[in-house]
Amino acid sequence: MAECEEEVLVQRVVKDITNALKRNPSIDEIGVIPCPEARYNRSPIVLVENKLGVESWCVKFLLPYVHNKLLLYRQRKHWLDREALVDITCTVLLLNPDFTTAWNVRKELVQSGVLNPEKDLYLGQLALTKFPKSPETWIHRRWVLQQVLGQSSAGDRRRRQQQRDEADAERSQQLSEHLARTLHQEMKVCSDAACRYPSNYNAWSHRIWVLQHMARGNIKVFYDELSSMRLWVSMHVSDHSGFHYRQFLLKELVSELSQSTASSTSSPQHRSSSVSSSSPVPFHNHANGELSGGEGGEDEEERQLSFITVLQLFHQEMELISDLIQSFPGHETLWSHRRHVFFLWHQWRTDQQLSNDGGDSTLLSDREAGLHKGGAQGCAAQVGEGVNGQCPSEAMEVEGASLPDPRDSKRLKRGVHLPAPPSLPSEYTFISSVLDSCCPSEQRRFALSYRKWLDTVIVQQP
Amino acid sequence: MKLYSLSILHKGATKANLLKAAYDLSSFSFFQRSSVQEFMTFTSALIVERTSQGSRASVKEQEYLCHVYVRNDSLGAVVIADNEYPQRVCFTLLDKVLDEFSRQVDSIDWPSGSPETINYKALDIHLSKYQNPREADAMTKVQAELDETKIILHNTMESLLERGEKLDDLVAKSEHLGNQSKAFYKTARKQNSCCEIM
């Protein structure tokens, strides 16, 4: 008798879940309600304020049953039609999203055109509200996104073939809008999961993947991300994964800007498959250097702009970290972020020096003027760079530097105030100021080990 | 960095009496919120009961930190935060809230009052304002006033209990907790001890 009853119960629950999702497309969270006993004649599926709840007592019947059914189907011992498959995988995955087989069944359904990929993105999003780390869900998500991207690039190709189609432009517009929406939605899913589970590496690395695949080279998107992450990291000062994402953004931005210094004529063509900035109001004018690039005379100005933007990025990042370290003492995450940013800066500077050797002396001396600032603050440490022939007045000029408005390119001539970039002396000064203040023992330890790192990794290296 | 609850209690001879509380449970999953809230009330009351007059303490429980201050006049307050939130700011908040409360609510009402009868509405505002410790302007100036060495630190809730007392028994007996919350507590305990699907 028990088996038969169970079967009826399970079928009913699967149906209830499916119907609830169908009838209410704005469900935005799932959860299990602790409830050890069944209350008779009441469905264990509860819907309150767009939240779907499953009473805990039924899970122990439900999960093994649907599991088995799906496995039997996979072993070809039991036939299920497509609709039943969609419903059953949906139930299984909401309760156990790391069941790879179920996601694989859905992959087949997507490929055969039965299932809309958007539906799967939604299902994954729901599952992540209860299991924010679930690796299989994130993996499946990337697969689905690739399908979506594949579809849109196929659309691109078709479009090129039928050049004369009049509705063409409109459709491509729709397409890029659709991609922008998907991108935005992914960012939302990621930050939601990151808030639900601290140091959610899976969510943050997914976010990186999304940017790499859907917004490659789009400086505007990267800028927006960097500025929206500012508040987030300030409120999650021990979230290593969040800071790692910030490091990724910084690195991409710096390398993108340096590329445009090297060759400011990057073709916008190869970016067509990624989301183009929908509103052409870039953060800084030079943020989309490719628009004005390649016009010979403006090259030089372009390079200076990019150069100053990089300095500004590093300057602002260092200011942010210093502020956070002083406001929230004793978090190792902040110190390792500082370490990473300084290393990035150090690397970039070395690269610039190599590529600029003998070439452009303007940028070089500008940078050295910036370094002077740190030197002026005084610390015995030697900067691994020959500073010569700089008159002190220029260093003083930088000393009281106010950030230039990069939008006003007319003012950008040699000798204009530059944002103070990080430097070894200023790092040592910061460390001693931390050590001098009465700080918790952990903060002391982190400061000392940062100093040791600077001594061994940066100073030793020529 | 998050504050979950802020409550004001009166420490009686044996029990603590809840006078007013504010919660921010938006980061918990929807169906757990009511249980979580009951647990925060239960915990706050327990901590005030076990803290002596005129002392401050911070109690660590899993990823949460409960900061308590019970004044010499038996009025106490508890804030439950995550472990990123600066401790000093928490105690500033407690001082401020207790100060304001004792000025607005007559001390005759403290021993017998309840959240329904007490007329003090600022708790929610304080809780939301202090979510960002920097905007609460408390980061720098109060530093000197608080002697941090005098704050008692407990590494678990268990260390508040007396000999032979068990948290499980206290949970089972508690009047702050409903049946669903007690079930919730049991599953949470089970989860810590062994791996299950749920």
Q: What is the pLDDT of residues A272-286, one digit of tens each?
A: 444 444 443 344 444
For chain B, say whether A48 makes contact (Cβ under 8 Å). yes
Measured between beta carbons, the chain B residues lying within 8 angstroms of A196 are 27, 29
Q: Do A56 and B132 touch (CB under 8 A)?
A: no
Which residues pair with residue B57 across a beta bridge?
Answer: B68, B152
3-class secondary-structure state, position A293: coil
For chain A, say whether B26 makes contact (Cβ under 8 Å). no
For chain B, say whether A199 makes contact (Cβ under 8 Å). no
Q: Do B30 and A234 touch (CB under 8 A)?
A: no
Q: Do B35 and A34 touch (CB under 8 A)?
A: yes
Span A196-210, average pLDDT:
95
The pLDDT of residue A232 is above 90: yes
**Do residues A142 and A206 make contact, with C-beta atoms less than 8 angstroms apart?**
yes
**Do residues B11 and B76 make contact, with C-beta atoms less than 8 angstroms apart?**
yes
Query: What pLDDT does residue A149 have?
Result: 87
For chain A, say whether B191 makes contact (Cβ under 8 Å). no
Span A368-388, average pLDDT:
40
Q: Which of A20-24, A235-239, A332-336, A403-407 has the lowest mean pLDDT?
A: A403-407
For A21, A141, A192, A194, A460, the CA distances from A189, given in Å and listed in that order, are 18, 11, 5, 9, 44
Cα distance between residue B159 and residue B60, in whole Å? 10
Measured between beta carbons, the chain A residues lying within 8 angstroms of B133 are 327
Q: Do A56 and B187 touch (CB under 8 A)?
A: yes
Q: Do A235 and B35 touch (CB under 8 A)?
A: no
Q: Do B35 and A196 touch (CB under 8 A)?
A: no
Span A96-115, average pLDDT:
94
Span A367-396, average pLDDT:
39
Q: Which is more confidently placed, A258 or A186?
A: A186
Q: Do B84 and A63 touch (CB under 8 A)?
A: no
For chain A, say whether B1 makes contact (Cβ under 8 Å). yes
The pLDDT of residue B194 is above 50: no
The pLDDT of residue A92 is above 80: yes
Q: Do A34 and B187 touch (CB under 8 A)?
A: yes
The pLDDT of residue A56 is above 70: yes
End-to-end CA distance of chain A: 80
Least Cα distance to B157 among B57, B76, B72, B69 occurs for: B57
Strands B55-61 and B152-154: parallel
Q: Which of A156-170, A220-234, A302-316, A349-363 has the lowest mean pLDDT?
A: A156-170
Span A115-125, average pLDDT:
93
Span A115-143, average pLDDT:
95
Q: In what order do the strands lie in the sheet with A29-33?
A: A29-33, A51-55, A45-48
Span A15-19, average pLDDT:
92
The pLDDT of residue B79 is above 80: yes
The pLDDT of residue A146 is above 90: yes
Per cent of chain A over pLDDT 70 is 74
Q: Testing the interface with A: which of B3, B25, B29, B134 to mutate, by most A Cβ within 10 A?
A: B29
* Residue A146 burial (CB count, 10 A): 12
The pLDDT of residue A293 is above 80: no
The pLDDT of residue A384 is above 90: no
Question: pLDDT-derived band of residue A416, with 50, 70 and 90 as boundaries?
Answer: low
Which of B1, B30, B132 shows the shortest C-beta gap to A31? Answer: B30
Query: What pLDDT does residue A252 have?
Result: 94
Query: What pLDDT does residue A218 have?
Result: 87
3-class secondary-structure state, position A14: helix
Measured between beta carbons, the chain B residues lying within 8 angstroms of A331 are 84
Per cent of chain A over pLDDT 90 is 48
Phi, psi (deg, nearest 5) at residue B159: -70, -10
For A127, A306, A422, the CA distances from A383, given in Å and listed in that order, are 52, 24, 12
Q: Testing the interface with B: which of A37, A56, A199 to mutate, by most B Cβ within 10 A?
A: A56
Question: pLDDT-derived band of residue A124, with 50, 70 and 90 as boundaries?
Answer: very high
Phi, psi (deg, nearest 5) at residue B155: -85, -20
Span A375-388, average pLDDT:
38
Cα distance between residue B134 and residue B124, in whole Å? 18
Nearest residue of B to residue A195, measured between CA atoms: B27
**Do residues A236 and B1 make contact, with C-beta atoms less than 8 angstroms apart?**
yes
Nearest residue of B to residue A440, measured between CA atoms: B148
Q: Do A53 and B31 touch (CB under 8 A)?
A: yes
Average pLDDT, chain A: 79
Nearest residue of A to residue B143, measured between CA atoms: A438
Question: pLDDT-derived band of residue A155, with 50, 70 and 90 as boundaries?
Answer: low
A40 CA: distance to closest CA in chain B (Å): 17
Average pLDDT, chain B: 86
* Residue B150 burial (CB count, 10 A): 9
- Looking at beta carbons, which pairs linking A387-390 to residues 24 or more positions away fall under 8 Å? A390/A365
Measured between beta carbons, the chain A residues lying within 8 angstroms of B31 are 31-33, 51, 53
Span A150-162, average pLDDT:
68
Q: Which of A1-10, A39-48, A262-271, B165-174 has the lowest mean pLDDT?
A: A262-271
Query: What pLDDT does residue A159 have?
Result: 61
Per residue in B129-142, pLDDT (tens digit) is 999 888 776 555 55
The pLDDT of residue A224 is above 90: yes
A430 CA: distance to closest CA in chain B (Å): 19
Cα distance between residue A416 and residue A404, in whole Å? 8
Question: pLDDT-derived band of residue B161, with 50, 70 and 90 as boundaries?
Answer: confident
End-to-end CA distance of chain B: 28
Q: Do B31 and A51 touch (CB under 8 A)?
A: yes
Cα distance between residue B164 and residue A263, in whole Å? 75
Measured between beta carbons, the chain B residues lying within 8 angstroms of A36 are 183
The pLDDT of residue A86 is above 50: yes
Query: What pLDDT does residue A446 have?
Result: 95
Per cent of chain B over pLDDT 90 is 54
Cα distance between residue A44 and residue B123, in whole Å? 37
Three-state secondary structure string covering A312-375 = HHHHHHHHHHHHHHHHCCCCHHHHHHHHHHHHHHHHHHHHHHHHHCCCCHHHHHHHHHHHHHHH
Query: What pLDDT does residue A428 have?
Result: 94
Strands A29-33 and A51-55: parallel
Nearest residue of A to residue B134, measured between CA atoms: A327
Phi, psi (deg, nearest 5) at residue A330: 90, 20
For chain A, say whether B27 makes contact (Cβ under 8 Å). yes
3-class secondary-structure state, position A236: coil
Which of A31, A48, A95 shows the shortest C-beta gap to B29? Answer: A31
For A55, A205, A212, B182, the CA distances from A208, given in Å and listed in that order, are 36, 5, 6, 41
Span B121-125, average pLDDT:
93
Q: Give residue B61's identity as a one-letter amino acid code.
A: E
Structure tokens at A53: 């709840």
Measured between beta carbons, the chain A residues lying within 8 angstroms of B187 are 34, 56
For chain A, say whether B30 makes contact (Cβ under 8 Å). yes
The pLDDT of residue A450 is above 80: yes
Question: pLDDT-derived band of residue A452, with 50, 70 and 90 as boundaries?
Answer: very high
Question: How big is the A-B interface in CB pairs under 8 Å?
Answer: 56
Cα distance between residue A195 and residue A229, in whole Å? 12
Which of B32, B84, B180 shows the shortest C-beta gap to A237? Answer: B84
Nearest residue of B to residue A237, measured between CA atoms: B84
Q: Do B31 and A49 touch (CB under 8 A)?
A: no
Measured between beta carbons, the chain B residues lying within 8 angstroms of A35 are 180, 183
Q: Which of A13-27, A257-271, A292-306 has the lowest mean pLDDT?
A: A257-271
Q: Do A331 and B84 touch (CB under 8 A)?
A: yes
Q: Enumerate residues 6+ apart whose C-beta is below 8 A from A390.
A: A365, A368, A369, A372
The pLDDT of residue A62 is above 50: yes
Phi, psi (deg, nearest 5) at residue A404: -75, 150
For chain A, say whether B144 makes contact (Cβ under 8 Å). no
B135 CA: distance to closest CA in chain A (Å): 12
Q: Do A31 and B198 touch (CB under 8 A)?
A: no
Q: Which residues of A313-352 are buried (b: 16+ CB within 10 A; e: fewer)?
A: bbbebbebbbebbbbbbbbebbbbbbbbbbebbbebbeeb
* Residue A228 burial (CB count, 10 A): 11
